[in-house]
Amino acid sequence: MKIAVIGANGNVGTELCYMLKDNCEVIPIVRNKIGAVFLEHHGIKCRIGDILNSETAKLVLKDVDVVVNATWVSDRFTGSQTQGSKLINKTIIENSFKYTPKNSVIIYLSTIRAFANQVDPSTSKFWPPRYDVEKQFLEKIMKNNSSKYKKKGISFRCGHVFGEGQPNTREIRKTLLQNKNLKIDVNSNSASNILHIVTLKNAIFKCLEKGIKSDTYSLVNNPQWTWKEIYDYYNVNCVLKFERSIVKKNSINQKFFKFLKTKKKFLIPILYNMPKKFELRILMELSTRKFKSEINKLESEEKITNGNFGYIPIPGKQLPNLSKTIDLLKNYNNSIFKIGKNESQN
């Protein structure tokens, strides 16, 4: 079986290729020789080409059984979506269906963010560009092309990806190794929406079964891990304390202050146009928050906050009969990506 991975030199694509190589003929597709260096150094032969080009797409996809699309193209200056980058993402999906063999399976790695306010209450409903809308648009392109070419097309709304080659994992390891005591600002039993790449690999092979139909599926660890399970899994000797900060009911709306924190340019005109009593209240609240932040820095017990802590458990249809993530992790120890204690502390 031949599995092509588009976007193979990204964080997820690279580690996924390395994991797939023992179970199939994995074909990383990269745009240039530089992108192939790491994978080919470790014995994984790449195909070089741009899927946007029809002739190139015909050549590199002509004999593959599965295409895993791990790409996300955005504007290189703003990091957000433009009409140009939107067209590129759309064309990559279309060419994946158009130039693969008749019975090929096309898999698109979407994201949990496509659920928008269903999982992330802080998602803006008004400010463009809307990342959730962009992902929903590409999922729709998957469905349309699956129907058009009569091929199985599956979109995975992936949770926050963890793996030995992933920034999320490196960051949590580094934090745990550098501290003796940590206060984690989340309830210990809150769902984490974490997805380890071992489960992503398991899900890709599950999609090849006849009983799995074209659709959009939610994908997180099986069963879903709590934040305590995540930190306990990576912890060595750090003392952990899980304690969610209590927000007073009479405090000003938390979403409003999160907005002011991320959109500071709006603070001055808001204060200028608001009645004086609201101006004083806002300034008092901001001062209080800044004071508490400085106090926390003086405490011997470092407090860990994370935007993902506020996510609601991922909804939606999930693939049946996936293997337990913890069992998959026991059989996966990738020294190529794994960082040691000394490297983590630098």
pLDDT digits (tens, 9 = 90+) for 87-130: 999 999 999 999 999 999 999 999 999 999 899 887 776 665 57
- The pLDDT score that the predictor gives to residue 288 is 74
- The pLDDT score that the predictor gives to residue 303 is 83
Q: Mean of the pLDDT values across residues 6-19? A: 93
Question: CB atoms < 10 A from the CB of 146, how many?
Answer: 21
- The pLDDT score that the predictor gives to residue 298 is 54
- The pLDDT score that the predictor gives to residue 84 is 77
Check whether the bond before 101 is cis (ω within 30° of 0): no
Check whether the bond before 129 is cis (ω within 30° of 0): yes
Read off φ and ψ for residue 104, nearest 5 degrees: -70, 155
22: left (phi over 0), alpha (psi -120 to 50) or beta: alpha
Q: Mean of the pLDDT values across residues 154-158? A: 98
The answer to whether residue 267 scores a pLDDT higher than 70 is no
User: Rounded CA gap, 182 and 237, in Å?
Assistant: 11
Q: Mean of the pLDDT values across residues 149-174? A: 95
Q: Mean of the pLDDT values across residues 175-196? A: 94
Three-state DSSP at 5 gives: strand
Residue 259: is it exposed, middle or buried by C-beta count within 10 angstroms (0-12/13-18/19+)? middle
Q: What is the pLDDT of residues 290-324, one digit of tens each?
A: 766 665 555 556 788 888 999 999 999 999 999 99
Give the chain's mean pLDDT: 85
User: Rounded CA gap, 315 and 318, in Å?
Assistant: 9
